[in-house]
Chain A
């Protein structure tokens, strides 16, 4: 195994350890009871372990790692339904600030590294609602023309909207101030979009994986007609089909995230997210169906992941929109080739 693979594996193990200890069911349940998703305590843990600053350059106090180090971490965050803006702050915002150096980056990167500031990123039509915006100290707005502006809390108006997934709160954000222009660079916008789309695919694959695990565990112990319901073939085959989709979604998501800097990074990200959305939709339907009544209760924890996958599937590009774009590109390319 290469050191790179070892590093990745260690990061995932580290993430799993932290999340098992600090983001278990009791944490999620407490968040639901309080109606708050983000907590300074859990975010502080993620910062302490260096996960939040993994992508930040060393001279800003980070570890200077590449996105490829974090795909497995994102999958793990999805599996644990972590109610924190990790993708938004630790992946997207740090990447944008790292790519566009200047006073804004110099001010905000150390705060992010220290776990003292949250940032969210607006990506045009991909983000009609911004997750965790109500908790954010900084908004980075990436426009299609390549311009990137930073807005502080005071320069925005944040109106929370009722989120399907209460552990992933959403808001409508309007900017009220001028903001600060960080630069104009289409490559940065394209790359950040790919990171968001592929990153969301990793989170989705992780969450869908958890739905599969919860279901397999439950049908293995729940007995009816004198045998575990998981011994009925109708149940087994549903679980098997779901396992196929989740496994493939994971393969595509992780590799797309690892490959964001490849020339076809954007289309790989789109394909991965489109498929992860499909796999997650299947997981959503089958997990509840195979749990029966217990899965329908607020008291049982299945709904945390049901809602997580629905929320994520609707964000950073829906399956339908991404597929259509990919199909259009292919059609144009093939028509061109066969004509010439």
Chain B
């Protein structure tokens, strides 16, 4: 971990980021990444971020980051959302696999995958869930049988975010069914698979709002080099848990995104003439307070991390909070629009609104559905409550098999 940032260092970095974004952020928002055209434009944007040296400022310089401490990373994110820059698309790679490789990967694996991942030349997706194994992830059945220096993979992964656009998948597979029969968490491996390998079939799935944001992936006798296992063969569960820790924990700086969403919500209320409506003020105030609380939490976790504290136990608390907050923001918007909440993004619902507010409204339902998904993915919020009650509060364990 890098040295704590000084206030002056953060301010200087912030100014530099702000200037760069002012110059480079596309004036017109990109079309949604859930269609090919939009996806390619987002990918091109990621390439520009990379060239500017901003793809992952918190990463160590040896991997192409800037070794920015937490406070500079937070400042970057705050500026990023403030500037209204495009949604990041390589989350599986940048936020999940990258950090996992740095912890568990061999130097060879890091050298092979990290540079392309950082530059967004390869898009990664996360292949954990299966039709029969969602919350009970360790019951997974996709098999990987050893054949010389390869594994032969058979099975199915489902609800894979960005699966239709990704180049590679990091998947949990069962390499030792015998060990799994004794204890289901054993005998699982964390395997990186090139989606262009023979025997891989990706079928995009249409999501509840009609967009093609995720996919199912079928593996039929797919040969994958043994060297693609991250961490020890048969010990993939620990690697997976560490990945989920990154997914649930504070993505430092994402509070700025929610603050922006709440500003959009205020603009919706304003455009509907609800400035003096006490019900609207109460509802807006409720989510505004949540985002302020979340901001305080992000800074607290940063301070904790800087002091060398562990954040694992906070990840589940964090996930329950931010996913509910995000839901509350978008749900509130729909309710404040009253009957117009049933009309998707229609400018007629907001006569006289400025362009920024209309744009926010045009994306509102999509963001609303995404907020619903966040309470399900990364381990449902019920699973998080099990974890909090058992591992944070020490209450008795669920009966387990």
Contact = CB atoms under 8 A, between A and B. Distances in A.
Interface of A: 1, 5, 216, 219-220, 227-228, 230-231, 233, 235-237, 239-241, 243-244, 247-249, 251-252, 254-256, 267-268, 271-272, 274-275, 278, 320, 322-328, 330-331, 333-335, 338-339
Nearest to A331: B266
A36 B262 CA distance: 46
B299 interface: yes
Interface in B286-310: 286, 288-290, 292-294, 296-297, 299-300, 307
Interface in B148-204: none
B60 interface: no
Given A271-B293, A331-B266, A323 B385 contact: no
Interface in B328-384: 354, 356-357, 382, 384
A249 to B, nearest CB: 7
| Closest A-B pairs by Cβ, 3 of them | A323-B285, A271-B292, A327-B285
Given A331-B270, A331-B281, 4 more contacts: A240-B393, A241-B320, A275-B289, A327-B280
B395 A327 contact: no
A323 B279 CA distance: 11
Nearest to A1: B307
A255 B357 contact: no
B107 interface: no
A252 B293 CA distance: 5
Contact of B296 (A228, A252, A333): A252
A5 B382 contact: no
Contacts of B278: 324
Given A271-B288, A324-B285, A330-B284, A231 B396 contact: yes
A5 B266 contact: no
B282 interface: yes
B385 A236 contact: yes
Given A244-B320, A268-B292, A334 B266 contact: yes
B297 A252 contact: yes
A237 B397 CA distance: 12
Given A252-B296, A255-B299, A275-B290, A244 B321 contact: yes
Contacts of A220: 394-396
Interface residues of B, number: 46
Contacts of B136: none
24 contacts: A228-B396, A231-B395, A231-B396, A231-B397, A233-B386, A236-B395, A240-B392, A243-B388, A243-B393, A247-B314, A248-B293, A252-B296, A271-B288, A271-B289, A323-B286, A324-B281, A326-B288, A327-B266, A328-B281, A330-B262, A330-B284, A333-B266, A334-B267, A335-B270
Contacts of B388: 240, 243-244
Nearest to A235: B395
Contacts of B317: 243-244, 247-248
Contacts of B97: none
Residue in A249, A251, A274, A335 with the greatest tally of chain B CB atoms within 10 Å: A251
B220 interface: no
Contacts of B133: none
